[in-house]
Amino acid sequence: PAKGKEGSVHSVSTPGDGVPVLQSLKHVCVAKHSLGQSGFGVITLNRPKTLNALSDALIRDVRAAIQHLEADKTVKAIVLTGAGRAFAAGADIKEMKDLNFHSAFMKDHIKAWEIVAECKIPTIAAVNGFALGGGCELAMMCDIIVASEKAKFGQPEILLGTIPGAGATQRLTHAVGKSKAMELILGGKMIDAKEAYRVGLVSTITKPEDLLATTFRIASNIAKMSRPVLILAKKAVLAAFNHPLDQGLQVERHIFHSTFGLKDQTEGMHAFAQKRKARFTDE
């Protein structure tokens, strides 16, 4: 993805077939990597002077970028990363410091962030530096987190007299367990990439110079798969967060059975039986 002066824009695809037009975006850069008939998108948070602080305007740009990429049927995954020294160092405190209970409740600015968690296609966070507060929460909204050895994770909201508001009390607890989540949220300390990997917060650690190449390899592998099956598989895994085990298993079984209505399931199993590579058509 492009890095450089804040506000540079890299459009990705020609609108059509229901893909919304991507207007000029000031706070993110957007790119598309094509792999034959499919590919993956890359969204780069681009406020490096503020360590990619998550302002309302930046989140609006992220929302527009995700909607654009998700509507493009050739895009099968989205990589989210940050320009400069940070993935995102947290929410933009300047926009929050003067809120009272009523204004915070009525504005509910964090609701707009949910576009990341609600994205139907797989999302991968490539964390290049600081992922603190809302930045850590944004990474946890993604399906996979790949971290540079220089990455730092933390939930320092307690130091500001508040608590995480974009999911950390729930997602971090699911990822690392109650005790570690309590330590991080109640103490406000940061952990490095190695500890984040050890406790299960991230799936892969790379050298800083290899972060995007490693993440792109993961995205490229995902992009070879059937798009509808990717969406269904993601839905089944996320059911583990939203349902008790017996209900989650029912969701999985229902989704498994539903794949037998897809042409790609027929192609995949026939290709296996014929000892050839499957040629998925996303149908």
Dihedral (CA of 169, 235, 200, 132) sign: negative
Query: Active site residue: 31, 89, 91, 223, which one?
Result: 91
Query: Active site residue: 41, 137, 154, 278, which one?
Result: 137
As a whole number of angstroms, the distance between CA 270 and CA 248 comes to 29
Helices (H), the chain: 56-71, 101-107, 114-118, 134-141, 168-176, 178-187, 193-198, 211-223, 227-242, 245-258, 263-273
Annotation marks residue 91 as catalytic: yes
Write the CA distances from 152 to 112, 149, 191, 194, 205, integer angstroms. Answer: 24, 9, 6, 9, 12
**In this structure, are residues 54 and 92 in contact, taking their beta carbons and an 8 Å threshold?**
yes
Annotation marks residue 134 as catalytic: yes
Rg for the chain, CA atoms, rounded? 19
205 CB neighbour count, 10 Å cutoff: 20
Query: Active site residue: 157, 181, 196, 223, which one?
Result: 157
**In this structure, are residues 79 and 216 in contact, taking their beta carbons and an 8 Å threshold?**
yes
Annotation marks residue 83 as catalytic: no
Q: What positions carry a catalytic annotation?
A: 91, 134, 137, 157
